[in-house]
């Protein structure tokens, strides 16, 4: 038990999928896992452990933003022994060739600051995905016929960004999309010798202003979940 997770040791699997939305965790666990068991609901942050093709998996919400993800990922890694952490999130597209519902595999996650800033100080550390997970996820996405993009994303501290000049630079430098957690996940994985990847589904487009409703962001991103599971156990 930790301040934020009520699960007993042993109730959390070594492989953890982390959506921002706790209700996406519930949907994904009920849709893709065999015998999912609720292992956390402290503060309404839902976590479930079950099996996928015989492999133990936990699907646990991270909440929105890096400070929230950092609490859960730290506790999952240091208190429960999580070793493979895959974010399954939504993202806003930042390139014309990236469409709604496309999948983005985040090779790197550029950021302005994360909860790790206090440790890294003046270092511009380069948060990056685990290569084994990334290459397996790319193969899984290809086999499914998903429209998939691999490259850099931006992990933002704000959803309502008021810096159009910043977005211009991100677009200009090829950033595929924006979300709010991956950079801290990658940094924590590097610090603790874990594997991490962010598999994202495009829910809205910053250039065209198309957007999916909240209900679809909660429970329609099945390809992303399967890609994450296949990469974890490739
Ligand atoms: O859909 P999730 O996984 O929450 O991810 C994205 O959605 C939230 C913002 O609406 C942020 O958490 C962002 O990273
Ligand atoms: O963080 C996010 C997630 C989805 N769409 C955005 O524009 N930002």
Q: Could you tell me what percent of the chain has a pLDDT over 70? A: 99
C-alpha–C-alpha distance, residues 107 and 218, integer Å? 24
Q: What is the mean pLDDT of residues 16-45?
A: 98
CA-nearest residue for atom 8, ligand 1, is 64
Per-residue pLDDT tens for 73-102? Answer: 999 999 999 999 999 999 999 999 999 999
**Measured between alpha carbons, how far is 179 from 174 in angstroms, rounded to an integer?**
15
Strand partners of residue 200: 89, 104
Which residues of 8-114 form beta strands (DSSP E)? 15-18, 34-40, 47-52, 55-60, 84-93, 103-111
Q: Which residue has the higher pLDDT, 213 or 217?
A: 213
Using the 8-state DSSP alphabet, how is residue 211 labeled?
Answer: B
- Read off φ and ψ for residue 119, nearest 5 degrees: -85, -45
Testing ligand 1's pocket by substitution, the residue of 25, 64, 109 carrying the most ligand atoms inside 8 A of its CB is 64
Structure confidence by residue, pLDDT tens digits, 121-148: 999 999 999 999 999 999 999 999 999 9
218 pLDDT tier (thresholds 50, 70, 90) = confident
pLDDT of amino acid 93: 98
Q: Residue 54: pLDDT above 80?
A: yes
Distance CA 120, CA 175 (A): 23
Compute the C-alpha angle 35/15/86, nearest 5°: 115
Q: Give the number of the ligand closest to the Cα of residue 64.
A: 1
Structural domains for the chain: 15-232 (3.40.50.1580)
Q: What is the pTM of this model?
A: 0.97
Task: Give the Cα separation of 213 and 203 in Å (integer).
Answer: 8
Q: Can you tell me whether residue 22 is helix, strand or coil?
A: helix
> Cα–Cα distances in Å, from 166 out to 154, 156, 184, 200?
11, 11, 20, 21
Kindly indicate the confidence band of residue 5, based on its pLDDT and cuts at 50, 70 and 90: very high
Say if residue 105's pLDDT is above 80.
Answer: yes
Q: What phi and psi values does residue 205 have, to the nearest 5 degrees?
A: -125, 120
Cβ(178) – ligand 2 distance below 6 Å:
yes
- Ligand 2 in contact with 146 (CB < 6 A)? no
* 40 close to 61: Cβ distance less than 8 angstroms: no
* pLDDT for position 219: 67
Pocket around ligand 1: residues whose beta carbon is below 6 Å from it?
19-21, 64, 89-90, 159, 179-181, 217
Q: Whole-number mean pLDDT of the chain? A: 96
pLDDT of residue 39 exceeding 80, the answer is yes
pLDDT per position as a tens digit, 149-191: 999 999 999 999 999 999 999 999 999 999 999 999 999 999 9
Sign of the Cα torsion 142, 148, 154, 155 reads: negative
Number of the ligand 2 atom closest to the C-alpha atom of 92? 5
């Amino acid at each position: 038990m930790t301040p934020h997770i009520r699960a007993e040791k042993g109730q959390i699997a070594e492989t953890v999928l982390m959506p921002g939305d706790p209700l996406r965790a519930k949907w994904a666990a009920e849709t893709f896992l065999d015998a999912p068991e609720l292992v956390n609901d402290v503060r309404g942050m839902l976590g479930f452990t079950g099996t996928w093709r015989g492999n133990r998996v936990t699907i646990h919400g991270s909440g929105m933003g890096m400070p929230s993800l950092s609490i859960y990922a730290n506790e999952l890694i240091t208190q429960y022994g999580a070793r493979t952490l895959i974010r399954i999130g939504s993202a806003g597209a930042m390139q014309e060739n990236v469409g709604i519902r496309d999948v983005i595999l985040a090779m790197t996650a550029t950021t302005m600051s994360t909860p790790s800033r206090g440790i890294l100080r003046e270092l511009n550390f380069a948060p990056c995905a685990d290569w084994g997970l990334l290459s397996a996820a790319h193969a899984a996405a290809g086999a499914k016929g998903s429209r998939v993009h691999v490259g850099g994303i931006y992990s933002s501290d704000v959803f309502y960004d008021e810096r159009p000049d910043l977005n211009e630079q991100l677009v200009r430098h090829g950033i595929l999309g924006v979300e709010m957690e991956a950079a801290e996940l990658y940094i924590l994985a590097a610090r603790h010798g874990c594997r991490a990847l962010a598999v994202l589904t495009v829910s809205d487009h910053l250039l065209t202003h198309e957007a999916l409703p909240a209900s679809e962001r909660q429970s329609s991103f099945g390809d992303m979940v399967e890609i994450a599971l296949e990469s974890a156990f490739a």
